[in-house]
Structure 1
């Protein structure tokens, strides 16, 4: 079995920090978009707006979970460093493995959120597609 040193879990910290920053930026952009669509919905209750709002609702849920799993990744990686520091080697591999699994879940949720983002854009394009084809 490979040796896990203090440096191994520490390698995740810059990556996790950047991911959390990207997730937060996506959250802020979506929250601004939801506010704008909410204002627009008060005057124009079109099905396209409703479809957009439904996708944004799913995306907010996904981003929240992406952030939670990202935070869990950082917490578990730090905990594995604690285990290494106190020479509890029998637990290190399992705990560090959990941090990697948590990161994989976060990235999978991110992929789903990107897919929904694309779907929302295609709805927007579909609304004006007939104008482009002419």
Structure 2
């Protein structure tokens, strides 16, 4: 299948917005961690810390895969421009795989973020009892 230079170029705005969203998630998580009140080594606090560490790792992977996708998309455009069509096709396909991986990590982080809210709510419930 032959693609032209416009095909990878269509991903530029989408990838840029994803990277911005990932950065916002990272900054929000960093703020949460900086404001985290360590309440001793009870089960709830340890679960929250474990959850935060996992979320940091996932966001890091999301960002790396997103940047990798952006990079490969750019190299694919360059290859197509220099008339290396087959290389451009493979680079673009690889950039799509990186993008899919990034999106999958995003879904995992959202699910884990929901767990973090459950931990927090459980902690509030225990304090009220």
- Band of TM-score, shorter chain: over 0.9
SS at match of 1:4: coil
Q: What is the rounded CA distance, in whole Å, between the counterparts of 1:59 and 1:87 in structure 2?
A: 41
Number of equivalent positions:
128
Q: What is the rounded CA distance, in whole Å, between the counterparts of 1:36 and 1:131 in structure 2?
A: 19
TM-score computed with the length of structure 1 as normaliser: 0.89
TM-score computed with the length of structure 2 as normaliser: 0.92
- Map residues 56-71 of structure 1 onto 2, 5 A cutoff: 56-71=52-67
The structural deviation recorded for 1:126 is 2.1
Structure 1 stretch 110-119 or stretch 44-53: which is displaced more?
44-53
Q: What is the rounded CA distance, in whole Å, between the counterparts of 1:31 and 1:131 in structure 2?
A: 25
The structural deviation recorded for 1:129 is 4.1
- Partner of residue 22, structure 1: 21
- Map residues 35-50 of structure 1 onto 2, 5 A cutoff: 35-37=34-36, 40-41=37-38, 44-45=39-40, 46-50=42-46
1:111 to 107, 111, 114: 107
- Partner of residue 51, structure 1: 47
Deviations 1:5-51 (A, max 9, x none): 111001111011110010000001111111111xx21xx21332221
Q: What is the rounded CA distance, in whole Å, between the counterparts of 2:73 and 2:8 in structure 1?
A: 5
SS at match of 2:83: coil
RMSD of aligned Cα (Å):
1.7
Q: What is the rounded CA distance, in whole Å, between the counterparts of 1:92 and 1:99 in structure 2?
A: 10
Q: What is the rounded CA distance, in whole Å, between the counterparts of 1:24 and 1:53 in structure 2?
A: 20
Unaligned residue ranges in structure 2 (runs of 5+): none
